[in-house]
Amino acid sequence: MQAQDRLIVALDVSSLDEARSIVEELAGSVGMFKIGLELFTACGTEVFQFIESYQNVRFFFDGKFHDIPNTVAAACRNTTRTNVGMFNIHAQGGIEMMSAAAKATREEAAAKNIEKPILIAVTVLTSISESILHEQIKTSKDLDLANYVVHLAKMTQEAGLDGVVASPREVPLIREACGNDFVIVTPGIRPNWPELGKDDQKRVLTPAEAIAQGSTYLVIGRPITRAQNRMAAVKRLCGELVSH
Ligand code: C5P
């Protein structure tokens, strides 16, 4: 995979006009654009018409489905039909839910004769700490956060999904447990550029570090979308990945 194909630009904006200006500036120079709940709750299903209006641009719909298997399967069928390149569900919905999602996605893509979107699962949100896991969610104290994430990643693979979203620090363990073909998508990336801070991200890795740890795709928002020259930021990032 080329360096630029590994970049997923987060469209964390609240209007399609803002999203369009970023997509039109960077299409062809990055792998995908991520549309999440912010844009979806602002624009509703227009988001899918927006996605469909671009023939050669890939989108990651970060909708994080989590419901009973029948409902999630139906949502996966509907999402697959919109021609997204990637979307996600929550691993904590369990094997039955994830298997139903994987089956519905495969079947819908085959029925419509379109490329199957990459289906990934969120393991544990990075906003969940080990104490929340143990004190509130009441997972076993024998299982620390990292091992719980690996357990969910293995379950995801068993259910037939393509990969997971993971924080940079869990990537090596997941890569080891799930092998080289498993897709790992990593947010929390910050290039080591003097003009950039960490924003609200707590634990960050540089793009080159994340790839070296085993990430397949990097989700990057503000370092690109808020750059004075977005294309220059993309080129600089790709240069760092190639020269690493
Ligand atoms: O601007 P920045 O690069 O921090 O954006 C990161 C993107 O990745 C945002 O869309 C954020 O919601 C998403 N994300 C994250 N951490 C997670 C999961 C998703 O930063 N654990």
Which residue ranges make up each domain of the chain?
A: 3-243
For residue range 40-56, list pLDDT tens digits in order.
999 999 999 999 999 99
Ligand 1 pocket residue status of 199, Cβ below 6 Å: yes
Residue 113 alpha carbon to ligand 1 centre in Å: 32
Spacing, Cα 231 to ligand 1 middle (Å): 20
How many residues make up the chain in this entry? 244
DSSP string, 49-106: HHHHT-SS--EEEEEEE-S-HHHHHHHHHHHHHTT-SEEEEEGGGHHHHHHHHHHHHH
Residue 103: closest CA among 125, 62, 74, 131: 74
Is the CB–ligand 1 distance for residue 125 below 6 Å?
Answer: yes
Nearest to 83 by CA among 45, 116, 122: 116
pLDDT at 244: 64
The reported pLDDT for the residue numbered 158 is 98
| Mean pLDDT of the residues in the chain | 95
pLDDT tens per residue across span 26-37: 999 999 999 999
Any atom of ligand 1 within 6 Å of the Cβ of 35: no
Give the integer Cα–Cα distance in Å for 34 and 188.
14
Q: Would residue 64 show up in a list of annotated catalytic residues for this protein?
A: yes
Q: Cα(first)–Cα(last) distance of the chain, in Å? A: 15
> What is the pLDDT, as a whole number, of residue 8?
98
**Tell me: the pLDDT tens digits for 59-81?**
999 999 999 999 999 999 999 99
Residue 126 Cα to ligand 1 midpoint, Å, equals 9
The CATH number that domain 3-243 falls under is 3.20.20.70
Whether ligand 1 lies within 6 angstroms of the CB of 207 is answered as no
Query: Could you read off the pLDDT of 116-173 as tens digits, one per residue?
Result: 999 999 999 988 889 999 999 999 999 999 999 999 999 999 999 999 999 988 999 9
Residue having the nearest C-alpha atom to atom 19 of ligand 1 = 187
pLDDT-based confidence at 196, cuts 50/70/90?
A: confident
